[in-house]
Amino acid sequence: MGRRPRRVTSKDVARLAGVSRTTVSLVLNDVPHARIAPETRRRVLEAARQLGYRPNAAARSLVRQQAMTLGLILCHPPAHVYTDPFLPQVLLGITGALQKTEYRLLLETVAEPSLREDYLDLAREKRIDGFILSGPRVDDVALRELHKEGIPIVLLGHLPDVAIPSVDVDNVRAAYTAVTHLIRLGHRRIGMITNGPLHYTASQERLNGYRQGLAKYNIPFEPDLVVEGHFTAESGEEAMRRLLTVRPRPTAVFVASDTVALGALVTLRQAGIRVPEDMALVGFDDIPLAAYVDPPLTTVRLPAYELGREAARLLLTLVAGESPPSSRTVLSTALVVRASCGALQALHNPQSKGGETGSNT
């Protein structure tokens, strides 16, 4: 490590350009109503360039009362984040939307117990001007508090009966589509493995979609046919084992997470149950690898990149003080039909991997 070079401040630039710091600031910030002589402007720009001057972010934040930083708060249990093949895309969507702006992204992961403290402080210290909260929980009181205080917040996912702007997919509808797809393929006895515990809004909603799908076709709901997953492939393995003990055995299973579905697939393989011949499977998420497992997974595509991008855009309008066009953005999902549901087989096209897609919106 070398020694830090002397800091260069606006004072240095002013001196070199032979103007005041005011003028330096005016020029560098391109202040609208400031009329600066072209020659002066040139001199300032040149001096700044020559000195490699960059305005100090802290000083600027202090005077502007803006951190120029947005937060991304990840409220998932470690087990989830760990296997989340989804996060990178969301991240890319967010940073993509921020790219042309002066805003930067602060990342915070929140362990369960300390929910409150952490991002409350982040906002109160004015380290961030607003934030995206991924994986909001119903029991999160700090969140409602912050929202009341006027901190710009966007939920990735959503919360019932809270007016916080959100970006999400219609989980109910998506699950409904997945299940009715199986029903139309002739299945009447369809199991479900949830993606996570039911206090996660998304888990609950996907379960609702499953029930609505059954109801639509007058298939009675059987609690025994629903097993809870816990985000991991491992939990899918176990859930499927449980499901296989139910009699009569289901002929199809809707697994509300591809990662969990991969675990289920392993159990099926070990039990010598062929997919889709003996058991049809539909997943959820369309993780990048869903097309590459055997058999390729029929699943519901979640627009991860777009979710991140839209959340960031929404937050950007919020911190700009504008009111957003809509405070609840719902992006559409699409059923991606591959081999695991058996639909392709019915079409005598066992090789296909891309599959047909049908939008559900």
Partner DNA sequence: CTGAAAGCGCTTACAG
Contact of 333 with 174, CB cutoff 8 Å: yes
Q: Is the Cβ of residue 25 or residue 212 nearer to DNA in the bound state?
A: 25
Region 59-88 residues binding its own copies, contact defined as CB under 8 A: 59, 61-62, 67, 69, 72, 78, 81-85, 87-88
Return the residue of 49, 197, 294, 358 that touches its own copies, per CB under 8 A: 294
Query: What residue type is assigned to position 35 of the chain?
Result: R
Residue 20: contacted member of its own copies, DNA, none (CB under 5 to 8 Å, by partner type)? DNA
300 in contact with its own copies (CB under 8 A): no
* Six-digit token string for 17: 């350009």
60 in contact with DNA (CB under 7 A): yes
Q: Where are the beta strands (DSSP E) in 140-272?
A: 153-156, 166-169, 190-193, 226-227, 252-255
Return the residue of 16, 47, 122, 256 that touches its own copies, per CB under 8 A: 122
4 in contact with its own copies (CB under 8 A): yes
Handedness of CA 80, 82, 88, 93 (dihedral sign): positive
Query: What residue type is assigned to position 330 of the chain?
Result: V
Query: What are the residues facing 155 on neighbouring strands?
Result: 133, 166
**Which run of H or of E encompasses 299?**
strand 299-301
1 in contact with DNA (CB under 7 A): no
Task: Please state, in angstroms and rounded to a whole number, the distance separating the CA atoms of residues 163 and 9.
Answer: 44
Q: Is the Cβ of residue 25 or residue 345 nearer to DNA in the bound state?
A: 25
Report which of 130, 206, 214 is spatially closest to residue 169, judged by C-alpha positions. Answer: 206
Q: What contacts 314, CB < 8 A, 6 or more positions away?
A: 154, 165, 167, 324, 329
* Six-digit token string for 225: 């046919």
Region 179-208 residues binding its own copies, contact defined as CB under 8 A: none
| Cβ at position 152, least distance to DNA in Å | 18
The bridge status of strand 190-193 relative to strand 153-156 is unpaired
7 in contact with DNA (CB under 7 A): yes
Return the residue of 9, 36, 108, 116 that touches its own copies, per CB under 8 A: 108
Query: What residue type is assigned to position 64 of the chain?
Result: R
89 in contact with DNA (CB under 7 A): no
Region 248-287 residues binding DNA, contact defined as CB under 7 A: none
Residue 82: contacted member of DNA, its own copies, none (CB under 5 to 8 Å, by partner type)? its own copies
Task: Please state, in angstroms and rounded to a whole number, the distance separating the CA atoms of residues 290 and 301.
Answer: 10
* Six-digit token string for 345: 């087989």
| Cβ at position 321, least distance to its own copies in Å | 8
Residue 198: contacted member of DNA, its own copies, none (CB under 5 to 8 Å, by partner type)? none
69 in contact with DNA (CB under 7 A): no
Residue 148: contacted member of DNA, its own copies, none (CB under 5 to 8 Å, by partner type)? its own copies
Q: Is the Cβ of residue 22 or residue 357 nearer to DNA in the bound state?
A: 22
HEC profile of 184-202: HCCCCCEEEECCCCCCCHH
Return the residue of 1, 6, 32, 39 that touches its own copies, per CB under 8 A: 1
172 SS3 class: helix
Task: Please state, in angstroms and rounded to a whole number, the distance separating the CA atoms of residues 288 and 294.
Answer: 14
153 SS3 class: strand
40 in contact with DNA (CB under 7 A): yes
* Six-digit token string for 166: 């959100």
Q: Which residues contact DNA by CB under 7 A?
A: 7, 9-11, 18-26, 28-29, 31, 34-37, 39-40, 53-56, 59-60, 62-65
Q: Which residues contact its own copies by CB under 8 A?
A: 1-5, 52, 54-59, 61-62, 67, 69, 72, 78, 81-85, 87-89, 91-92, 95, 99, 104-109, 111, 121-122, 124-127, 147-150, 152, 233, 259, 262-263, 265-266, 269-270, 288-289, 291-294, 318, 323, 351, 353
